[in-house]
Structure 1
């Protein structure tokens, strides 16, 4: 059977299943998700073995360390997936919630009710944890999901989907609620994103190239972020001990993520005091530092930063440093070079903090906290389906509420239009 027909069949199966999960009770949805979590615990050794096959093949192909890190499943990461599912179960079910209600002069009541979107298509690369995270969220929000993971993680994803589908069958739910496209060819993605009427929303998760390809070719609405060029501005009124810890965490804790800091901006008033110790700590951890001319005068042992570097999402232990005059220049830099993802200020000045929150137009803006915290789990949303930098429908980490839409409901007692 040709790829086009295979994808069409899978999408039809998901569409049919979406009717069943949309009307499922909260208790049933929670039971399914908890059963998924239990099976992950039971099958963790099998999952790790399947993942080792993917990791070994990826290494043989010379895939970057950043992608290898995203691809690798460990006991800790499986435990995090399980905890994410348990967090989703603990969250309130948004489906059926009436968000507002008002009375019209003719006596009818008009309101808005949260309902599932329908079928969510998720296209992602070498991150098998996404398979579990998005399934739990989509299911709790009453949606079916069509998953298309990267070829690098195909063995891991097949093993995970087998577990998820078993949980659905055990609870007598249509197993098309979780549909996985195991076709590695690029054509599979291009056929999938044409299926308007069967798939209601596409969420691409991966590199900028993947996201641009999906956005440019999709006939279905797309929620996305192209890249995470994230900044931290260390203000002259910052607690420098705090600033050092926050900046170190934002760059080093997991550099291959979209919310890792790529450029650190430092107020010139405190640069000579702050930079030597901070940059030494970065260097000792293996961070390659690229600095502006002012940075090099303070700490000569760094590479020159280029104009193009300020636009880069490194996803690696590489960091740009720029010394700026003040908060105005810092905000100007973020406005020009940023990607509207995650940006932070370290300051003890209340007015500057509020100004930064107002003027920096990103999906999440932080005061005295690491950009690495831009995450559904960290925000209390449960495991997220992605971080959107769009401004329509959803922005920032997408949790349960963002996986629903609203419809108008009207309660009357015989009203007609005159």
Structure 2
């Protein structure tokens, strides 16, 4: 795998020098300051490339912007309302501009209204560090009592509703404000942030959009943009829902292997692929990540490696961001499946045989604590994760391991 690092631009607390010292090979970034639905102009793309290409002292870094995460799909496109046709035209133009700049891999998602959703951004773990957490009871308390969505109680098991009532009754005003802020945080690095009233207004726009309708709108979007990406030699890769189950009555349509199969087969092209995020997909106990990698292998264009620990085996349940080699996903088996696919692609002569990967999220540890970095993106926590993942990759690449594996197979 090609080792990359997500960078949010000059305001990111992780600097270019940090990435170099971490030993990464490429950079994942985006133009978060540009409103969704508008064109990414060549000058803005070039500015970000220049920022990545030099250290703080102005000397060349040797790093390049290799993956876009994310080129957002606007809410108008998802709903097929308002300026959605203009937004699709602008998306195509942005792809043209990114391709002309030499950037060929585009990660995006099709989650309605909210992007990744957490109830806690600094949840204390046993060793004293902190991590992000989704608590289904806290979320139900938000949905039923703070958002006050009509008939929200009907979307939760009775015992969750009861616990949500009890928890809300004991919740301080400060915790209520924190919960609202955490859930409406929006895209990582984004300047777009929703208020409670804004969420209510957006929910009203989705009143008559079923999962089937949203899926049809997604396919219509892909039918427009994938031919452009294919002509340009680009790879688009959809990120899964996070968490991978419906929230606030909204459909989520990229949560399972079957969801991916439906979308990838509907617009069958080498340019239409998947971002395999082991953390997002790993929240569901019915998602077998190594098996999903094997099933989707030829269409996996980008990989996020992180791990989560579930509180239960409920489909819609609580979880926290665990260490990269802990949690409920067998990370060693997943990396083996990825590297097997890379070897197959290399033997086939594919130019994209090396799949870009980034260590996703991380726990706040050591000097990360109190630094107030972008939630989920501490420097040291991600570096620790990358080092662990790199160790597994190096082992699988070692000739002695290959000899032992051959002996076992024989």
Q: Comparing both structures, which one devotes a greater share of its residues to strand?
A: 1
TM-score (norm 1): 0.30
Q: Which has the larger radius of gyration?
A: 1
Higher RCO, Cα 8 Å, sep 6+: 1
Q: Scaled by the length of structure 2, what TM-score is found?
A: 0.30
